[in-house]
Amino acid sequence: MKKPNILSQPLKLRCGTTIKNRVCKSAMNEAIATGESRVVRGFEVLYETWARGGAGLLVTGNVMVDRFHANEPLAVAVEDKRDFLILQLWAKAAKTNGTQVWAQLNHPGKQSPKFLNKEPIAPSAIPLASDMFVPPRELKEEEIQEIIEKFTTTSIILKEAGFDGVQLHGAHGYLISQFLSPKHNQRQDKWGGNLDNRMRFVSEVYKSIREKVGKKFAIGIKLNSSDFQKGGFTQEESLLVCKALDELGIDMIEISGGSWENPVNRKGHLKESTKNREAYFLEFAELLKKTVSTPVMVTGGFRSQSAMIEALETKAVDLIGLARPLAIDPDLPNKLLNDNGVTSSVMPITTGIKKLDQMAIMEISWYTDQIRRMSEGKEPKTKVRGIWSVIEVLFHFWQRGQVVKKVRV
């Protein structure tokens, strides 16, 4: 008799809903919105493709709560009901196969490139270590309250449109992460200083959303295990923040790490234990599982079915997050659930040009281009064709940039 596949087991959340299996499409920026951050029908096509692929949960790419503060070109913003009908179609398509769909909510704070934002804001007026970004100004307290309201308003609209939940993006150096970091948050008021004050922003965002959407709407968070910066957000602090959110009733915690300034999961310097178990942050997830009762997910590095099963069977995680593997093989969850010996074909992208191969933007852009293809009803490409793929990706990237430039100017 065939042994039951633990990946197929359902997972019931505190909010009362059940994710049908343990495979989640984690957030990837789709970059298919209009230059004005409007939702398009391509999201409907794309998410139905992923839903039919078999994952139990689909987490969208960044949905901005303020269209004037975006983390990258062609990101969706939901501030009002101007695109409500298309949002409904998007949610309905994503739920085609009994799948749950959560929208990842984000405000980038100062991590918004200067060609998109000439006046970024942050907890403190501390610039990022790059001329890609304009130095930010410090948020006023009334502006902090306004941003909390924006997160809440976006959540209400998405719930009404049919989404099953939201995920707060509290990782990778964006605004929530900036508030948590003692390096980036040096405020002297109730929003900065000790950890209780620094976590006040994310706690108030969660409580405000929960009050308006009720107990049956899922709210999760993507949080850094650490930002791996001197004087920054530590693992010990992350455990305490997770414990506080767990006590507030959060439905799921996805673990990540690093920031734009220190993208640890793209540097290629892995501990032997990470290589053996494939996924980043599993050791931290095991520590976290001893601290919280809410489900824990890890995304980043999982490639083989055997490693995913081991992570679940050893109770290191409750959900397996997959991103890039689903950009080239949207049917991978079905294979993981029904076949044996499955391994994703995702490999580091190489073109033979050393400088290009070292550019993270090149690899990210190639996967984003496969997402674009799926949104147009096309099959994603699975192999890089050397310099020709570079030219094709850069052409589409240039096209997207021209669209944004025309609108922003």
Name which of 139, 142, 236, 240 is nearest 184 in CA terms: 139
Residue 370: inside a domain: no
* pLDDT bucket at 24, cuts 50 / 70 / 90: very high
**Token couple for 399:** 């096209």
Residue 408: inside a domain: no
CATH classification at residue 204? 3.20.20.70
CA dihedral of residues 66, 68, 71, 73 (deg, nearest 10): 120
Q: How far, in Å, CA of 106 to CA of 177, rounded?
A: 11
Residue 362: inside a domain: no
Average pLDDT of 4-30? 95
Average pLDDT of 248-264? 79
Q: What is the pTM of this model?
A: 0.91
Residue 399: inside a domain: no
Helix (H, G, I), strand (E, B) or coil at 391: helix
pLDDT of residue 276: 55
**pLDDT, the chain, mean:** 89
Contact 71, 108 (CB under 8 A): yes
Helix (H, G, I), strand (E, B) or coil at 321: strand
Average pLDDT of 22-36? 95
* pLDDT bucket at 1, cuts 50 / 70 / 90: very low
pLDDT of residue 226: 81
Distances in Å between the alpha carbon of 365 and those of 36, 49, 102, 357, 359?
20, 20, 23, 12, 10
Residue 83: inside a domain: yes
Residue 402, pLDDT above cutoff 70:
no
Write the pLDDT tens digit of every residue in 117-132: 999 999 999 999 888 8
* pLDDT bucket at 390, cuts 50 / 70 / 90: low
Residue 356: inside a domain: no
Please name the residues in contact with 132: beta carbons below 8 A apart, sequence gap of 6 or more: 113, 114
DSSP readout, 248-300? Answer: HT-SEEEEE--BSSS-GGGS----HHHHHH-STTHHHHHHHHTT--S-EEEES
Q: 3-state DSSP: the chain helix, strand, coil percent, rounded to 5? A: 40, 15, 45
Contact 203, 245 (CB under 8 A): yes
Contact 320, 254 (CB under 8 A): no
Average pLDDT of 175-198? 97
- The 10 Å CB-count burial string (b at 16+, else e) for 335-350 is bbbeeeebebebeebe
Q: Which domain holds residue 145?
A: 6-345
**Token couple for 252:** 């799921």
Q: How far, in Å, CA of 56 to CA of 54, rounded?
A: 6
Average pLDDT of 91-106? 97
Write the pLDDT tens digit of every residue in 144-180: 999 999 999 999 999 999 999 999 999 999 999 999 9
Name which of 105, 170, 109 is nearest 134 in CA terms: 109
Strands 11-12 and 18-19: antiparallel
**Token couple for 219:** 């709210």
Q: What is the tally of structural domains in the chain?
A: 1
Residue 393: inside a domain: no
pLDDT of residue 406: 56
* pLDDT bucket at 392, cuts 50 / 70 / 90: low
Residue 336: inside a domain: yes
pLDDT of residue 266: 44
Distances in Å between the alpha carbon of 184 and those of 108, 231, 330?
13, 9, 37
